[in-house]
Structures are given as structure tokens and as C-alpha cells.
Amino acid sequence: MRWTRFAAVGCVVLAVGLGTVAVGGAGPQEEAAPQEESVPPAAPPRVELPEPVRKGTVSLEEAIQKRRCVRQYAERALTLVQLSQLLWSANGVTGDNPRFRAAPSAGALHPLDFYAVVGQGMVEGLEAGVWHYEPADHALTRVLEGDNRQALARAALGQRQIVTASVVIVVTAEYARSTGKYSERGQRYALMDAGFAAENLCLQVQTLNLAVCIVGAFRDAAVTETLRLPKAHEPLLFLTVGHPRAN
Ligand SMILES: Cc1cc2nc3c(=O)[nH]c(=O)nc-3n(C[C@H](O)[C@H](O)[C@H](O)COP(=O)(O)O)c2cc1C
């Protein structure tokens, strides 16, 4: 539907809607219905992440040398400390101002969001679900319950490493945060930002003796629906993380 036609239909719907309100609204003579006590919605579970480590034992050169995409994982949980370190390496705050993060971002606008898709018992101390990372608080908020790895794999050509990974980090972009300043070019910058953040995480994985694979092949709409992502958060890539399977 062209936008002009879409707008016309919208006006009719709005007019009908307003009419309904006007006709159905309680007149001055009518007795007002007793107000039901409103119960505030329960706050989603929130977990403060452990403080990330700032000094490690594996050199940057060793991490670069070791980095490989590994697609086979042992069925073993990650610790919350490990997940904390991974999220911090990709998008954690590293400056006095929350705009300054572990990975660079054009104009420090940070169009990316990070979601951790966790299976039952696959990250110690975290219920299964989809968890949203909040860099300023270094915390996670659960936005969806349950183990969503199977459904996510179906949205990604059935790639098995998504089901066997202890955690799948899904990186999304809200382009408007960048295009507001840089117009169309902002979209290109957001994609570059994702590359920098992902590489940080891939290198951090090496220092933790874990394994990671990048996944870019998936159906965007199916991922959005599976994870109930906000419309503006466009999925860009996944990072499947687990313990490497001993051969
Ligand atoms: C943007 C991008 C998308 C990718 N998508 C997938 C994917 O959907 N599935 C997969 O198994 N590997 C994927 N990969 C991993 C590459 O296949 C891998 O990096 C390449 O084979 C080189 O191997 P290496 O990373 O071990 O050096 C992707 C890599 C990048 C950078």
C-alpha cells in the first residue's frame, strides 16, 4: 500500500474510533462505573552483572592468533562472570561518560543493542530467556522467558551451533540513532559499529578459553518475531558462544 493510501485509511479508522468514544462515553447524568484498582505490571527480572576484569593473562597477539569460528560446543554452562566479561568487551562502558564504550561508535551514538539468548541451565545464575544488556548499569533485564534457541535456529537456516551454544548474543541496530545525525550514511556507520563490537567479543572469547561463531545468515523478520524484538531493533548478527567440544 502506498503511504498516501495508508494515511487515508488511517484517517477513516481514527474518525470511526473517535466516534465510538464520543457515543460510548459516559454522559454527565450517567453514574460512573467503579474504578478497578490498577495493579502495576511486575518488573521484569533484572540481574546485576559481576564487575568485569580489566587485566587478563592472554596477550592481544595470542588472542588474534587463536581466533577462529568454532561451531561445536560442549553441553556446559557459562558462568555469569564469563557472560559479564563478553558483554562488557562488546558494549560495556569504559569511560567516565556512558557514551564511551569498549568498542568505538560513529559520533558515540551507539545504535547497537545486545541480547543474550540463554538456554535453561546454560548460564549459571540466569533463568532461560532473552536478556537485554544495559551498558550504563552493566545489568541484564529479561525481556522474554523460555529457551528460544531452537526457534532462533529455525530462523537461521537450522544452523546447529545456535542450539548447542550456551548463549547466543544477538546484536541489533536502531539505525535512527545514527541516521538522525548522519542521514543515510548513519546506516553504514551502524554496520561498522557492529563489526568492531563483534570483533572485541571474538577476541575476549579467546582469553576465556571459550569458543565463538558469527552467524549472519538468518531471516530478519523471523528473528524479530521469535525474540519479540522492538520494531526499531533490526537484527544484524549473532555470536554463538560455548565451551569448545573436545575432539
Ligand atoms: C558477516 C559474517 C557473517 C557470517 N555468517 C556465518 C553464518 O551464518 N554461519 C556460519 O557458520 N559462519 C558464518 N560466518 C563465519 C565465517 O564463515 C568465518 O569467519 C570464515 O569461514 C573464516 O573462518 P574463521 O573466522 O575461523 O577465520 C560469518 C562471518 C562473518 C564475518
Determine the pLDDT at residue 136. Answer: 98
Nearest CA to ligand 1 atom 3: 216
Q: What would the pLDDT profile of 48-87 be if each residue is shown by its tens digit?
A: 999 999 999 999 999 999 999 999 999 999 999 999 999 9
Determine the pLDDT at residue 223. Answer: 98
Mutate to test the pocket of ligand 1, among 214, 220, 239, 240 (most ligand atoms within 8 A of CB): 214
**CA 217 / ligand 1 centre spacing (Å):** 9
Q: How many Cα atoms sit within 13 Å of 102 on the Cβ side?
A: 25
- Under the banding of pLDDT at 50, 70 and 90, the label for residue 6 is very low
Selected residue with higher pLDDT from 25 and 245:
245
Question: How many angstroms separate the CA atoms of 174 and 187, rounded?
Answer: 9
Determine the pLDDT at residue 1. Answer: 32
Whether residue 114 contacts residue 91, with contact meaning beta carbons closer than 8 Å, is answered with yes
A 10 A CB-CB count for 226 gives 24
Question: How many angstroms separate the CA atoms of 114 and 27, rounded?
Answer: 50
Nearest CA to ligand 1 atom 29: 214
Question: How many angstroms separate the CA atoms of 200 and 56, rounded?
Answer: 14
**CA 156 / ligand 1 centre spacing (Å):** 13
Q: What would the pLDDT profile of 104-126 be if each residue is shown by its tens digit?
A: 999 999 999 999 999 999 999 99
Determine the pLDDT at residue 26. Answer: 34
In DSSP terms, 211 is beta-bridged to: 242
Cell of 47: 540481574
What residues are in contact with ligand 1 under a 6 Å CB criterion?
Answer: 68-69, 71, 159, 213-217
What is the pLDDT averaged over residues 35-47?
78
**CA 168 / ligand 1 centre spacing (Å):** 15
E runs forming strands in the chain: 46-48, 73-74, 112-118, 129-134, 139-145, 167-173, 211-215, 234-244
Measured from the Cα of 68, ligand 1's closest atom is 26
Selected residue with higher pLDDT from 195 and 29:
195
Q: What would the pLDDT profile of 172-187 be if each residue is shown by its tens digit?
A: 999 999 999 999 999 9
Does the pLDDT value for residue 159 go beyond 70?
yes
Q: What would the pLDDT profile of 203-231 be if each residue is shown by its tens digit?
A: 999 999 999 999 999 999 999 999 999 99
**CA 215 / ligand 1 centre spacing (Å):** 6
Question: How many angstroms separate the CA atoms of 48 and 156, rounded?
Answer: 30
Find, among 115, 117, 106, 135, the residue nearest to 195 by Cα.
106
Helix (H) / strand (E) containing 18 = helix 3-24
Q: What angle do CA 207, 208, 212 make, to 5 degrees?
A: 95
Ramachandran angles phi, psi of 246, nearest 5°: -70, 130
Nearest CA to ligand 1 atom 2: 216
Domains of the chain: 47-244 (3.40.109.10)
**CA 113 / ligand 1 centre spacing (Å):** 21
**CA 213 / ligand 1 centre spacing (Å):** 7
Question: How many angstroms separate the CA atoms of 106 and 110, rounded?
Answer: 8
Nearest CA to ligand 1 atom 18: 69
Average pLDDT, the chain: 88
**CA 169 / ligand 1 centre spacing (Å):** 15
- Under the banding of pLDDT at 50, 70 and 90, the label for residue 44 is confident
Determine the pLDDT at residue 240. Answer: 98
Determine the pLDDT at residue 166. Answer: 98
With H, G, I as helix, E, B as strand and everything else as coil, classify residue 212: strand
Find, among 205, 177, 170, the residue nearest to 86 by Cα.
205
Question: How many angstroms separate the CA atoms of 201 and 169, rounded?
Answer: 10
Selected residue with higher pLDDT from 5 and 96:
96
